[in-house]
């Protein structure tokens, strides 16, 4: 099959020319970089996050729900970066959003990163007024209090989304961690609360230890492709079961990764590490690889191939997932073991 391929897709109700979105990162801090990414063919841009702590510190002097009069305040404050170290302070963030909107024609998505429904959410309105085409809410919190139950955390999340949907006209995506007992149920409740999209998944950046200095050191490592499978699994489980758009974010580095993401059921893929490492041109490589694969497999549009490997037609997804887990564990063979010493070739049982 040759000729034009329709790579268009819909994400958060926005029509995109293709599924390649640049994820939340410092890449849009530079206007020329944002233009380069658009010229390289990215379909939308997500700005770096503005953090709850930046907004509350500026507006109320509070940080992490702590009042300056609290005796722990100074110590807790010392945990966080100095205001100037965040990359963009709140007023600058809104200005940068306006500038990017004026510079590019692809959708620009603002990102708010916080923990629960407090005043900082109001800032989403300023992003909307500044021209954001959508808001990406990144709820990142490590629940360290053993007495705090998961149900309360989940309900908070649903409430935040419902509040945002009540306050904003622009679509809202929720970037989530995978660490929920019943992630499918959380996704379903966010969908019911009006979330327009779910971004699977946030990466958790655990600090490291400096054993010479006996210090805890924050660190960030770019992704590897090994991040992808967890995201494929959940996109394949959720595809066709929720109406919110699905974005896969994490481990999309090679065209095959994007092809797998769409086959799992994703509407778009978000890429950061690949763009930071390989530059904007990697977006063109991703697109060409996708078109070549579609050509070779007879797909004329993304719509035709989306969800082909999802579990939407599987009679018992839970059984399928468990069976795959058991197969994976029992498929390992010691290096050098002859191939036919193992029962292979029965992998495609669920269709």
Ligand X SMILES: Cc1cc2nc3c(=O)[nH]c(=O)nc-3n(C[C@H](O)[C@H](O)[C@H](O)COP(=O)(O)O)c2cc1C
Interactions with ligand X, residue window 228-257 (CB under 6 A)? 249-252
Burial class (CB in 10 A: 0-12, 13-18, 19+), 78: exposed
- Encode burial over 55-77: b for 16+ CB neighbours within 10 A, e otherwise: bbbeeeebbeebeeeeeebeeee
Interactions with ligand X, residue window 27-86 (CB under 6 A)? 48-49
Residue 115 lies near ligand X (rule: CB under 6 A): no
Residue 21 lies near ligand X (rule: CB under 6 A): no
Separation CA 40–CA 106 (nearest Å): 12
Selected from 4, 211, 220, 347, the binder of ligand X by CB under 6 A is: 220
Residue 18 lies near ligand X (rule: CB under 6 A): no
Binding mask of the shown chain, residues 279 to 318, with x at each position contacting ligand X by CB under 6 A: ----------------------------------------
Q: Are 247 and 109 in contact (CB under 8 A)?
A: no
Please tell me what DSSP assigns to residue 272: S
H-run or E-run covering 48: strand 44-51
User: Among residues 49 and 56, whose Cβ is nearest to ligand X?
Assistant: 49
Q: How far is CA 86 from the centre of its chain?
A: 20
Distances (CA, A) of 220 to 10, 182, 273, 284: 31, 28, 11, 26
Q: Output the smallest distance, CB 320 to ligand X, in A.
A: 26
Residue 138 lies near ligand X (rule: CB under 6 A): yes
Selected from 25, 54, 56, 115, the binder of ligand X by CB under 6 A is: 25
Interactions with ligand X, residue window 183-202 (CB under 6 A)? 202
Query: DSSP string spanning 197-246?
Result: EEEE-PPP---EEETTTTEEE-------GGGHHHHHHHHHHHTTT-SSEE
- Range in contact with ligand X (rule: CB under 6 A) among 58-66, 206-214, 265-273, 318-326: 265-273
Please tell me what DSSP assigns to residue 110: E
Separation CA 97–CA 106 (nearest Å): 13
Q: Output the smallest distance, CB 316 to ligand X, in A.
A: 31
Q: Output the smallest distance, CB 299 to ligand X, in A.
A: 24
Q: Output the smallest distance, CB 47 to ligand X, in A.
A: 8
Q: Output the smallest distance, CB 81 to ligand X, in A.
A: 12
User: Among residues 70 and 208, whose Cβ is nearest to ligand X?
Assistant: 208
Strand 208-210 to strand 245-249: parallel, antiparallel, or no bridges (unpaired)?
Answer: unpaired
User: Among residues 14 and 88, whose Cβ is nearest to ligand X?
Assistant: 88
Chain residues in the site for ligand X (CB under 6 A): 23-26, 48-49, 111, 113, 138, 175, 202-203, 220, 222-223, 227, 249-252, 271-274
């Amino acid at each position: 099959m040759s000729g034009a391929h329709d790579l268009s897709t819909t994400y958060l109700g926005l029509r995109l020319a293709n599924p390649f979105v640049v994820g939340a990162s410092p890449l849009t801090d530079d206007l020329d970089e944002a233009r380069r990414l658009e010229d390289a063919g990215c379909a939308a841009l997500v700005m770096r996050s503005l953090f709850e702590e930046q907004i509350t510190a500026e507006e109320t002097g509070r940080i992490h729900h702590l009042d300056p009069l609290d005796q722990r305040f100074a110590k807790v404050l010392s945990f966080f970066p100095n205001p100037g170290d965040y990359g963009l302070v709140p007023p600058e963030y809104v200005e940068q959003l306006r500038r990017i909107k004026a510079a590019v024609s692809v959708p620009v998505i603002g990102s708010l990163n916080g923990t629960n429904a407090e005043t900082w959410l109001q800032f989403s309105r300023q992003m909307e007024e500044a021209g954001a085409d959508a808001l990406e809410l990144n709820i990142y919190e490590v629940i360290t209090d053993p007495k705090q139950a998961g149900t309360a955390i989940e309900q908070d999340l649903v409430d935040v989304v419902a509040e945002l949907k009540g306050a904003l006209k622009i679509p809202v995506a929720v970037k989530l961690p995978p660490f929920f007992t019943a992630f499918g149920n959380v996704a379903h409740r966010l969908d019911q609360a009006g979330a327009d999209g779910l971004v699977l998944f946030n990466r958790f950046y655990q600090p490291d230890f400096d054993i010479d200095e006996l210090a805890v050191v924050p660190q960030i490592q770019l992704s590897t492709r090994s991040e992808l499978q967890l995201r494929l699994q959940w996109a394949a489980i959720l595809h066709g079961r929720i109406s919110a758009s699905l974005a896969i974010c994490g481990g999309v580095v090679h065209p095959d990764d994007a092809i797998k993401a769409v086959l799992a059921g994703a509407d778009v893929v978000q890429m950061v590490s690949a763009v930071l490492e390989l530059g904007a041109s990697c977006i063109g490589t991703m697109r060409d690889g996708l078109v070549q694969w579609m050509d070779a497999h007879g797909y004329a549009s993304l719509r035709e191939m989306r969800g082909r490997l999802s579990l939407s037609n599987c009679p018992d997804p839970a059984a399928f997932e468990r069976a795959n887990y058991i197969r994976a564990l029992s498929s390992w063979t010691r290096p050098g073991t002859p191939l036919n010493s193992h029962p292979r070739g029965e992998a495609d049982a669920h269709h």
